[in-house]
Chain A
Amino acid sequence: MTELSIRGLTKLFGATRAVDQISLDITNGEFVSLLGPSGCGKTTTLKVIAGFEHADAGSIAFDGNDVGELPAEKRDIGMVFQNYALFPHMTVVQNLAFGLEMRKRPRQEIQTRVAKLLDMVQLSDLAERYPRQLSGGQQQRVALARALVIEPRILLLDEPLANLDAKLRDEMRVFIRELQRRVGITTVYVTHDQAEAMAISDKVVVMFGGRIAQMGAPDEIYDRPRSREVAGFVGRVNLIDGKVSAVTEAGCRLRTGFGEIDIACPWRPANGDSLTAVLRPEAITLAPTDATGLGWGGRVLSAYYSGNTIDYRIALTDGSELQVQTFPTRRFQPGDAVTVMASGASFWPLAEAS
């Protein structure tokens, strides 16, 4: 197992800073996702780690040894590509054996290891097929097996599920994660799909414009985002602007256009500060207006039913809109007057100046 350490990594394409001063430590056997929109530098970072691109500044070390000057073929990495990049003129077995042949392993050992990996990805029956004779999911598993059979120090995956349909994608996500745990390999996974990154990773690194916007455990990123951009990228979000009207022990009271709310705050704001708080749509509950005196008044603008949930747009008294997601145990129609409720703990104030 290998520790990956990146320090001040910078990659320029002309005048563009595709990757800008990235530092990142990935410990043994950890599964880390680089998450961000296209052009955020996540794939470039992966290519620099793999050795396909040369960094303009900064360092990359495997277990403390700098690999910056090593060509790709000497870095001992396993890589899975978005389009799988299986060799079309080789059978599944030949694809898997290629990396071991490059390492000049004895034929007997190659056969044993290829057979073991094929068994692991449940493709032993298709060993003599050519890639084009396989389905997308099967090709994906061959690509994984081909990357793992060489027992690389680090596994790199570049949007490996992007070309699969939704149902298969969910299956493969679980498959990849379980396989990675079983092999116990340090893994860097690049994706633009936040749900995928959340579900699969130990740690998520959110990137914008070549920089790391925030990194942490998936729930940390989701529940305690540091900026609007991060909050918006990892899920749907309501941004609530207000002014601090009182400072309490655990947080503060925020005065907003539609009422006052008591929220938790990890730092001590000053009275009169402007604050923006994040409120996730699923943290909100709706009730009929006549039920209690709590909450804030609102009116349903639209309701979209999607089986296990309903998505509402709610207009509040000051005219601002909230996105709300609830279970369909109780359904409201557009035009219904509702009471909107959310616990103070579900608000998360953004540290950035609003």
Chain B
Amino acid sequence: MAPKKRHLAPLLLIAPALIVLTVFLVIPYLNIILMSFRTPGNGVPYGAGWTIANYGKFLSDPFYLFQIANTLWIGVVTTLVCLVAGFPVAWQLARGSNRWRGLYYGIVLAPLLIGIVIRSYGWTILLGNNGVINRALIGAGLVDGPLPLMYNGLGIIIALTHVLLPFMILPISSALQGVDPSLEAAARSLGASRAITFRRIVLPLALPGIQAGSMLVFVLAISAYVTPALIGGLRVKTMAVTVVDALIDTFQWPFGSALALALSVIGALSVIAFARLTRTKWKAP
């Protein structure tokens, strides 16, 4: 085979993915960037001129700034809840007996097998004022009136945690699998209690997994649409919901594009900041 043709082989291999990404991701993104600098149109998607007013409108309106803060807050809390709830599960997956491991993985992945709309409606049945949980609590005489479980941040966080847990559990579990149990024995033999062994040995070594899981969950949480839209209702809106409102309901394509870009940039900056903060000198092999 001629050497020239051999050079083409890698290119040919990635070509399909490259074409799909370019057509369906890069070009639309560029389009959104351009769109965000358009003037608003009247009856048409956008006007003839160029402007930065879309960004000005967003940055000067406390309503949108509050929404950004609220979205980030929901993302942070969901990430923390997933971390706290997911770590023990990841530990069990990594260190538990082999016999049930397949079943455990199935259970962990189960939330992903249900369609997102169905899953979110399921939560509305559980969390609503007239939902299963509130009726049970009232019926048992534990509360007088329904607890506010839906149409607020709490409901969104509960539902997001449910679906995003696997994205936290799997990377942590795989990181923990790479931590040799004899390291824990070594730490114990050197005088470290179980708690100190966990903090000084296991946790730092699982950190790459925690980082990966946290970034995944955070990014997915702040960009989630269906769950916040259905569970937050009209009262609590995240950025993703507002973006769709602007694009579809009020037909403000340029402004919606600016909001969407702002969400992307803020999300990316948050992830970079997080990665910087949790960076370690030590590199996993």
Are the CB atoms of B191 and A81 closer together than 8 Å?
no
The residue of chain A having its C-beta at the shortest distance from the C-beta of B185 within the complex is A52
B122 within 8 A of A: no
A67 within 8 A of B: no
User: Interface size bucket, B side?
Assistant: 20 to 34
B141 within 8 A of A: no
B226 within 8 A of A: no
Are the CB atoms of A130 and B191 closer together than 8 Å?
no
Interface residues, chain A, with chain B CB atoms under 8 Å away? 50-52, 71-79, 81-83, 85-90, 98-99, 102-103, 130, 132, 146-147, 150, 156
Interface SS of chain A: loop
The residue of chain A having its C-beta at the shortest distance from the C-beta of B200 within the complex is A98
Known contacts A79-B186, A81-B186, A85-B183: A103-B285 contact under CB 8 Å = no
Given A50, A82, A88, A90, which contacts B189 in the complex, CB threshold below 8 Å?
A50
Please report the C-alpha to C-alpha distance between residue A88 and residue B182 in the assembled complex, in whole angstroms: 12
Are the CB atoms of A52 and B188 closer together than 8 Å?
yes
Given A79-B185, A87-B183, A88-B285, 5 other A-B residues pairs in contact with their CB atoms under 8 A: A73-B192, A81-B185, A86-B186, A88-B284, A89-B204
Are the CB atoms of B190 and A85 closer together than 8 Å?
no
Please report the C-alpha to C-alpha distance between residue A83 and residue B182 in the assembled complex, in whole angstroms: 8
Given A51, A87, A146, which contacts B201 in the complex, CB threshold below 8 Å?
A87
Are the CB atoms of B205 and A88 closer together than 8 Å?
yes
Are the CB atoms of B180 and A73 closer together than 8 Å?
no
CB-defined contacts of B188 to chain A, threshold 8 Å: 51-52, 71-73
CB-defined contacts of A50 to chain B, threshold 8 Å: 185, 189
The residue of chain B having its C-beta at the shortest distance from the C-beta of A47 within the complex is B185
Are the CB atoms of B280 and A87 closer together than 8 Å?
no
Are the CB atoms of B285 and A132 closer together than 8 Å?
yes
Distance to closest chain B CB from A164 (angstroms): 17
Distance to closest chain B CB from A46 (angstroms): 11
CB-defined contacts of A75 to chain B, threshold 8 Å: 189
Given B204, B205, B282, which contacts A130 in the complex, CB threshold below 8 Å?
B282
A-B contact pairs, 6 of them (CB 8 A): A79-B185, A86-B186, A88-B284, A89-B282, A98-B187, A156-B189
Known contacts A130-B282, A132-B285: A85-B191 contact under CB 8 Å = no
Are the CB atoms of A73 and B182 closer together than 8 Å?
no
The residue of chain B having its C-beta at the shortest distance from the C-beta of A72 within the complex is B188
Are the CB atoms of B185 and A73 closer together than 8 Å?
no
Are the CB atoms of B192 and A98 closer together than 8 Å?
yes
